[in-house]
Amino acid sequence: MSTYIVDDPRKVTTHRLLEMKAQGKKIAMLTSYDYTMARLVDQAGVDCILIGDSASNVMAGNVTTIPMTMDQMIYHARSVVRGVKRALVVCDMPFGSYQVNCTEGVKNAIRIMKETGCDCLKLEGGVEILDTVKRILDAGIPVMGHLGLTPQSINKFGTYSVRAREQAEADKLKEDARLLEEVGCCAIVLEKIPAQLASEVASQTRIPMIGIGAGHDVDGQVLVVADMLGMDQSFSPKFLRRYADLSTIIQDAVGQYVADVKSVSFPNDSEQY
Ligand code: KIV
């Protein structure tokens, strides 16, 4: 039995995230999309669990996050919430649910909060969605921002390569982070940007910057749980560290089961009624 680092057993709140940044304590965040995984991830001590719209890739096998619907996000979020006791539960608003106008964005945000019981929502983008973010916050819903590589805009970017290498895009990202902090976001995910830029943004903001492919000089890290557990060996970006080789473990176990069924060694006498 491993020992897990949980220095404060109380439920993590958005207020606690701000305290953690102020105290220099790093925030550990992972995605989950179902009850069983969320329960394990929560018990192992993560501070935040994200129901990412990466469920589109991981759970549904889509190439992008674009197809994800409100109903699908709500289904995943409800399952995750049932499994979590301590971590802050953050749910992605899916593509199309907040980009049309503020009113629709707020309506969809309220629907996710009411139907899932999650603690916070995450939206991709900066100044373009600022009014909507502000209206959602005004409705009493905590919001986490997401800047840098924002996968819902993949068709505009045309590539998953590192963002904000050029000065103009880096300047815009800094300004977007400032604006999101100013309106009251509780944290911002910085995805796939140069470590130096992420470090600068983290040092200029009081809210936590949670990186994925943004180096170590930020306030926390987030990874897609299936990636860090090694469930897809074909996905190996530079920023990913694999903490397990679950694809081999699962395939070996399933292969053994198949062999046991075929050889009639499963079930044995003690595994029957
Ligand atoms: O959808 C997702 O999993 C995310 C993380 C990669 C931050 O947004």
Domain membership of residue 39 (yes or no) is yes
Residues 174 and 261 placed together within one structural domain of the fold: no
Q: Mean pLDDT in the chain?
A: 97
Q: Is residue 199 domain-shared with residue 272, that is, in the same domain?
A: no
Is 173 inside any structural domain?
yes
For residue 260, the CA-to-ligand 1 centroid distance in Å is 39
Q: Are 14 and 119 in contact (CB under 8 A)?
A: yes
194 and 252 in a common domain: no
Check pocket membership of 92 for ligand 1, CB cut-off 6 A. Answer: yes
Shared-domain flag, residues 81 and 52: yes
Asked, for residue 2, whether it belongs to a domain, the answer is: no
C-alpha to C-alpha distance for 74 and 58, rounded to whole angstroms = 16
Domain count, the chain: 2
Tens digits of residue pLDDT in 94-131? 999 999 999 999 999 999 999 999 999 999 999 999 99
Rounded CA gap, 51 and 239, in Å?
20
Strand 27-31 to 187-191 pairing: unpaired
* pLDDT score recorded for residue 28: 98
Burial (CB count <10 Å: 0-12, 13-18, 19+), residue 9:
exposed
Q: Is residue 48 part of a domain?
A: yes
Question: Are residues 263 and 151 part of one domain?
Answer: no
Q: Determine the pLDDT at residue 5.
A: 77
Q: Is the pLDDT of residue 208 over 80?
A: yes
Residue keyed to tokens 């995605």: 31
Cis amide prior to 267 (ω within 30 degrees): yes
Same domain, 205 and 125: yes
Taking the C-alpha atoms of residue 142 and residue 183, their distance in angstroms, rounded to an integer, is 11
Which segment of 1-15, 96-110, 121-135, 217-231 scores lowest on mean pLDDT?
1-15
pLDDT score, position 32: 98
User: Given this model, what pLDDT does residue 2 score?
Assistant: 62
Tell me if 117 is assigned to some domain: yes
Asked if the structure places residue 78 within a domain, the reply is yes
Cβ atoms within 10 Å of 179's Cβ, excluding its own: 16
Name the residue range of residue 272's domain. Answer: 246-273
Through-space distance between the first and last CA atoms of the chain, rounded to whole angstroms: 32
> Which CATH number belongs to the domain containing residue 132 in this structure?
3.20.20.60
| Nearest Cα residue to atom 3 of ligand 1 | 52
Question: Is 68 found in the same domain as 183?
Answer: yes
pLDDT for res 4: 78
Q: Atom 4 of ligand 1 has which residue's CA nearest to it?
A: 52
Yes or no: say if 66 and 154 are a contact pair by the CB < 8 Å rule: yes
> Do 232 and 128 share a structural domain?
yes
On whether both 47 and 114 belong to a single domain, the answer is: yes
Task: Give me ligand 1 centre to Cα 54, in Å.
Answer: 6
Q: What is the largest CA-CA distance in the chain?
A: 70
Which ligand 1 atom is at minimum distance from the Cα of 224?
A: 3
Residue nearest to atom 1 of ligand 1 (CA): 52
Is 211 a pocket residue for ligand 1 (Cβ < 6 Å)?
no
Residues 253 and 207 in one domain: no
Same domain for 223 and 163, yes or no, is: yes
> What is the distance between the alpha carbons of residues 182 and 266, in angstroms, rounded to a whole number?
61
Indicate whether 6 belongs to any domain: no
What average pLDDT score do residues 196-209 get? 98
- The answer on pLDDT for 1 being more than 90 is no
Q: What is the C-alpha separation between 31 and 49, in angstroms, rounded?
A: 5
pLDDT for 151: 97
Residue 15 · residue 207 · CB < 8 Å: no
Q: Compute the Cα dihedral for 25, 90, 229, 232 and give only its sign.
A: negative
CA neighbours closer than 13 Å in the CB half-sphere of residue 149:
19
Q: Which residues contact 231 (CB under 8 A, 6 or more apart)?
A: 246, 247, 250
Q: How remote is the CA of residue 124 from the centroid of ligand 1, in Å? A: 10
Is residue 56 lining ligand 1, measured as CB closer than 6 Å? no
Are both 215 and 255 inside the same structural domain? no
Closest CA to 181 of 214, 150, 211, 145: 145
Q: Is the dihedral of CA 198, 199, 204, 207 positive or negative?
A: positive
18, pLDDT greater than 80: yes
pLDDT at 75: 98
Tokens of 118: 């999650």
Question: What is residue 8's predicted lDDT score, i.e. its pLDDT?
Answer: 84
- Best mutation site among 29, 49, 53, 149 for ligand 1, i.e. most ligand atoms within 8 A of its Cβ? 53
Among 185, 191, 209, 189, smallest CA distance to 199 is for: 209
Please indicate, yes or no, if residue 152 is contained in any of the structural domains: yes
